[in-house]
Amino acid sequence: MIYELCVVAKDSVTDENLNSLKDLCKEVMKEYKTELLIEDDWGKRLFAQASKNGSKQGHFLYFMYKGEASALNQELYRRLRINDHVHKFLNVNMGRDRDLDTILKNYKTPFSRKYNGSVTDESEGMDIEKDRRRFARRRNCWFIARGIKADWKDPKTYMWLINEFGKISPARVSGVSTKHQRFVNSAIKRARQLNIVSHLSDAVLK
């Protein structure tokens, strides 16, 4: 199986603490004989919404890895929960090994320097908003037509479905299929968990 892990370090971490946190994740993966596919540092980012404890920014670290990782994930959870430098973290099952090439190809996020971009960028030159409204009127799913799936780390794939009050547009309004509406809901909830998207507005991580 292929998994991704995003760790948000506290704003107060030093470079030494950050390197220690990276080494911790990689050491656990190595211990469980897991193949690290992508390691990406998104840098220090301003949250879309302040956390309950008042934190307004954090340092984002991203890892993608492959392996039978049930025991690995449990150990990562345990170590990250007790680490004083960790603000939040998220672990997601991305799919099976046979989908590896597609998953690697689609890894794009505006928060990365090395992999900067969005899967929607392939529609360059197209008026995306006009295109989406056209599909909504016809009750055809824009995601299916474009071969795109909502991804929590790629806000361009779902922010058009969040209004100024942070509400998610229902499928009956947007024309999105039931299946892709579930993908959208999951992506937005994951993004909110990491403060990438606000619960109360259409603000995004900066």
The reported pLDDT for the residue numbered 10 is 95
Q: Which amino acid is at 184?
A: V
Q: 131 Cβ partners below 8 Å, 6+ apart?
A: 123, 142
DSSP structure class, residue 39: E
Lowest mean pLDDT of 11-25, 81-95, 124-138, 157-171, name the range: 124-138
The CATH number of domain 123-206 is 1.20.1420.20: no
Average pLDDT, the chain: 89
Taking the domain 1-107, which CATH number applies?
3.30.70.60
- Sign of the alpha-carbon dihedral angle for 77, 80, 81, 87: negative
Q: How far apart are CA 67 and CA 36, in angstroms?
A: 9
Evaluate if pTM is beyond 0.75.
yes
Q: Do domains 1-107 and 123-206 have the same CATH topology?
A: no
Query: What is the distance of C-alpha 35 from the center of its chain?
Result: 20
Domain boundaries, the chain: 1-107, 123-206
The string of pLDDT tens digits covering residues 76-120 is 999 999 999 999 999 999 998 889 999 999 899 999 999 999 988
The string of pLDDT tens digits covering residues 57-69 is 999 999 999 987 7
More confident residue, 137 or 84: 84
With a pLDDT cut of 90, the percent of the chain lying above it is 70
Q: Residue 48 phi/psi, 5° resolution?
A: -65, -30
Sheet holding 57-66, edge to edge: 35-46, 57-66, 2-10, 86-95
Degrees, nearest 5: CA angle 154-155-160: 140
